[in-house]
Amino acid sequence: MKVVRLFGSISLCFLVLAVLFAPAWADYYQGTHRISVNPATPLHKLSREAISSLRKARVSDNRILGIFPQRYVPAPSIYGQVDEKADWVRDTQFFVHNPYLLVVISSGNKVNAFLPYCDVNSVEYSYGRITETYRGQSAEKWFYFAFDYYGEFQGILRLWFVNAYDAGLKYACVDSSKSINIDINYPPSESSFLKSIHSGHEFYHVGHLKKNNISPYDVRATMRLREKNSRTVLYVKLWKNRPSAIGDKEDFVYVFKMEP
C-alpha cells in the first residue's frame, strides 16, 4: 500500500511539473488555419461598449487558435481612452477589426497599414505561427508603400504590436538571424527591437488630428530594409512573459514574407 501511495505521489509531482513547465505554445491550435482579413468598416461615434462587442466578435471568429484568452476583454490600457464622441482616423480602424494581425507594418511615423492596399485577403496560421505572404503584384505594392509612397521614409518600417499586446503577448523582438534584407544597424540604438527585448505601450486616443488614432511613435519599433523589390523576410518573436535574452525560444512567431 505504501508503494502504491508513493508511486501515486511521484506521478502527481510529475504531472504538476509538466503543467508548470509546459511551453506557452502548448495551448495553441496544433494545425493549420486561414485567417481572413477584415475590412476597416467605420467605428465613428460608437460607444466603448459597442466597440468592445465588435472586438470580441472578431476574436471569436478564430477562437479555435487559442491565441486570445477564452474570456477575452479588450485591454483597458489600449481601449480605455477611446472618445465615443469622436470620429476615427480611417486606417486606424483596420487594427481594431483584425485582432489576429498581431503585428502590423506601416511606414516611418505613419499609421497606415500596408496590408489592406496589397490585395492580401487572408494570412496563414500554422502550429503557433502566423505568416503574411506577399507575392508578385502584392509584393510590388508592398515595396511601393515601403519605399516610394511616403518619400521621406526610404525603406523605414514601423511595426505595431497593439494586437499582440491585447492578446497578452507583451514582449517582442525581430530575429535578425532568421530575417532577410534588413539593415541591422538601423536604428543605431541598443534598445532597438533588433538588439533587445521590446515592450511598448500602444493605445487608442484622440490625437492631434482630433480623431481616435493609435499612439505613440516609438523609434525602437522601427527598422530599415536594405533593398527594394528584393526577397524579404521579417521574423518576429513574441512572448507572454519577459524572456531573459532575445535568443530564448519564443511563445509565438509572426512572419512577413515578401517575394516579388
Q: Predicted confidence band at 41 (pLDDT cuts at 50, 70, 90)?
A: very high
pLDDT in tens, 177-220: 999 999 999 999 899 999 999 999 999 999 999 999 999 999 99
Give backbone dihedrals phi and psi of 113, rounded to 5 degrees, phi first.
-65, 145
Q: What angle do CA 205, 234, 155 make, to 5 degrees?
A: 70
Give backbone dihedrals phi and psi of 159, rounded to 5 degrees, phi first.
-105, 125
Q: Predicted confidence band at 20 (pLDDT cuts at 50, 70, 90)?
A: very low
- pTM for the whole structure: 0.89
Write down the domain spans for the chain.
Answer: 24-259
Which amino acid is it at 127? Y
Specify which residues 62 forms β-bridges with.
none
Integer angstrom CA distances of residue 252 from 14, 88, 134, 167? 26, 30, 21, 11
Q: What angle do CA 56, 62, 68 make, to 5 degrees?
A: 60
pLDDT in tens, 104-156: 999 999 999 999 999 999 999 999 999 999 999 999 999 999 999 998 899 99
2 pLDDT above the threshold of 50: no
Q: Environment class of residue 126 by beta-carbon count within 10 Å: exposed (0-12), middle (13-18) or buried (19+)?
A: middle
pLDDT of residue 14: 38
Which amino acid is it at 21? F
